Structure 1
Amino acid sequence: MNQVKTAELEERIYQDYATVAGIIVLKNGQLQYENYFNSCTKNSRIHIYSVTKSILSILIGIAMDKGYLKSCNQKVLDFFPDYTVKRKENAIQNITLGNLLTMTAPYKYKYFVPYIKYFKSSDSVRFTLDLLGGKRQIGKFRYTPVIGPDILSGILTRAAGRTVLDFASEYLFSPLGITVEKSIVFQSKEEQIAFNSSKEISGWVSDPAGVNTGGWGLTMAPSDMAKIGQLYLDGGVWNGRQILPSEWIKESTEVQSKWRNLSYGYLWWIIDEKEHAYAALGDGGNVIYVNERKNLVAAVTSLFAPRAKDRIALIREHIEPMFENG
Structure 2
Amino acid sequence: MKRFLFAAALALTPLSGASAASDMPSAAPAAEGMSAEKLQAMSTAIKAGQFQKVTSVLVARHGKLVFEAYYDEGRPDGGAEARRNTRSVTKTVTAMLAGAAIARGAIPSVDAPIKPYLKGRPPAAAPDPRKNKVTVEDLMTMSSIAECDDDNQFSRGNEERMYLIEDWVGFYLDLPVRGFPDWAPKPADAPYGRSFSYCTAGVTTLGAVVQGAVGKPLPAFARETLFGPLGIEGERWQVSPLGLAQGGGGLGLRSRDLLKLGQLYLDGGKWNGEQVLPAAFVAAATAPHANARPDTDYGYLIWLQTFSGHKAWAMSGTGGNKVVIVPDLGIVAVITTVNFDVRQPHAISERLLTEHILAAVTP
Q: Give the TM-score of the pair, scaled to structure 2.
A: 0.78
Matches within 5 A, 1:129-208: 129-131=173-175, 133-136=177-180, 139-144=194-199, 146-181=200-235, 203-208=236-241
**CA 1:3–1:58 in 2, change beyond 3 Å: closer, same or farther?**
closer
Say yes or no: does 1:121 pair with 2:165: yes
CA displacement at 1:293 relative to structure 2: 0.6
Moved more, 123-132 or 248-257: 123-132
Matches within 5 A, 1:68-79: 68-79=106-117
- Which residue is equivalent to 1:315? 353
**CA 1:281–1:87 in 2, change beyond 3 Å: closer, same or farther?**
closer
2:338 counterpart (293, 300, 303): 303
- Which residue is equivalent to 2:298? 264
Matches within 5 A, 1:1-326: 1=29, 4-13=37-46, 14-39=48-73, 40-83=78-121, 84-108=123-147, 111=152, 112=154, 113=157, 115=159, 117-131=161-175, 133-136=177-180, 139-144=194-199, 146-181=200-235, 203-261=236-294, 262-272=296-306, 275-306=310-341, 307=343, 308-310=345-347, 311-325=349-363
- The structure whose Rg is larger is 2
Q: Which whole-Å CA distance do the structure 2 matches of 1:116 and 1:60 have between them?
A: 25
CA displacement at 1:312 relative to structure 2: 2.4
Q: Which whole-Å CA distance do the structure 1 matches of 2:212 and 2:284 have between them?
A: 24
CA displacement at 1:321 relative to structure 2: 2.0
**Percent of pairs with identical residues:** 29
Q: Secondary structure at the match of 1:315?
A: helix
Q: Secondary structure at the match of 1:300?
A: strand
Q: Secondary structure at the match of 1:108?
A: coil
CA displacement at 1:126 relative to structure 2: 1.3
Cα deviation digits, residues 272-307 of structure 1 (max 9, x gap)? 398442110011121111111101110111124233
Aligned residue pairs, count: 303
**Long gaps (5+) in structure 2:** 1-28, 30-34, 181-185, 188-193
Q: Which whole-Å CA distance do the structure 2 matches of 1:228 and 1:275 have between them?
A: 20
CA displacement at 1:93 relative to structure 2: 2.2
Amino acid at match of 1:166: A
Cα deviation digits, residues 123-143 of structure 1 (max 9, x gap)? 211122112634456631101
**CA 1:168–1:268 in 2, change beyond 3 Å: closer, same or farther?**
same
Q: Which whole-Å CA distance do the structure 1 matches of 2:60 and 2:328 have between them?
A: 13
Q: Which whole-Å CA distance do the structure 2 matches of 1:313 and 1:253 have between them?
A: 23
Q: Secondary structure at the match of 1:69?
A: coil
Q: Is the Cα–Cα contact under 8 Å of residues 278 and 291 in structure 1 kept in the other structure?
A: yes
**Long gaps (5+) in structure 1:** 182-202
**CA 1:50–1:163 in 2, change beyond 3 Å: closer, same or farther?**
same
Q: Which whole-Å CA distance do the structure 1 matches of 2:148 and 2:256 have between them?
A: 38
Q: Which whole-Å CA distance do the structure 2 matches of 1:132 and 1:21 have between them?
A: 40
Q: Give the TM-score of the pair, scaled to structure 1.
A: 0.86
Alignment root-mean-square deviation, CA? 2.2
Q: Secondary structure at the match of 1:288?
A: strand
CA displacement at 1:5 relative to structure 2: 2.2
